[in-house]
Amino acid sequence: MEKWKEASRRDLLDCGIFVAREHRSTGPHGKTGRFVVLDAPDWAIVVPVLERDGKRYLVTVNQYRHGADELCTEFPGGVVEPGEDPAVAAARELLEETGYKAARISPAGECWPNPAFMSNHLHVFVAEGLELVAAQDLDEHEIVDVHISPEDEVLDAVGLPPWSHALMATAAWYYIRCLSRRPA
């Protein structure tokens, strides 16, 4: 299998959070097609682990999502700013959305959110050694409620409303994989 060869590219629409671009490319079979790609910044999601009395809890956030027209429960996360290291973005988003600072931020995995038409990556991290150090510092249009829930309750709920966000299911999967790889 060979990659397609790009013949041209042009911007169709700049929406701020992504740019829609038309790519004209020729496949290894000789046929040329027109493909729309959404160029968006990378995203970072952090699974924050709070340990209390020998039990593990996960810090989560609830917020309204316009695309779903629903309140969603999620792990903290957001856009990786230009030139920003994804781990730094994860730590920043954790602090902004929850007020928690982590002693350790460890990579859990990364993937393409939807490589069929999106160009960005999703970076997932695990945050441990949490300390509440500040109040929330939210963006102008963010309204975020913070919740602390037992780890098993959160992981059992992933995939069911209000945990229906596919990127959060992916983050939970990476987190579970990290747990399974820890020495006993």
The Cα–Cα gap between 97 and 136 comes to: 5
Q: What is the pLDDT of residues 52-81, one digit of tens each?
A: 999 999 999 999 999 999 999 999 999 999
For the stretch 14-49, pLDDT in tens is 999 999 999 999 999 999 999 999 999 999 999 999
Q: What does the radius of gyration of the chain's CA atoms come to, in whole angstroms?
A: 19
Model confidence band, residue 103 (pLDDT cutoffs 50, 70, 90) = very high
Q: CATH 3.90.79.10: which residues of the chain?
A: 43-180
Tokens representing 55 are 């039990």
Residues acting as catalytic residues: 140
Specify the pairing of strand 122-132 against strand 43-52. Answer: parallel
CB 171 within 8 A of CB 131: no
Options 3.30.750.24, 2.60.120.680, 3.40.50.720, 3.90.79.10; CATH of 43-180:
3.90.79.10
Say if pTM beats, i.e. exceeds, 0.85.
yes
pLDDT higher than 80, residue 183: no
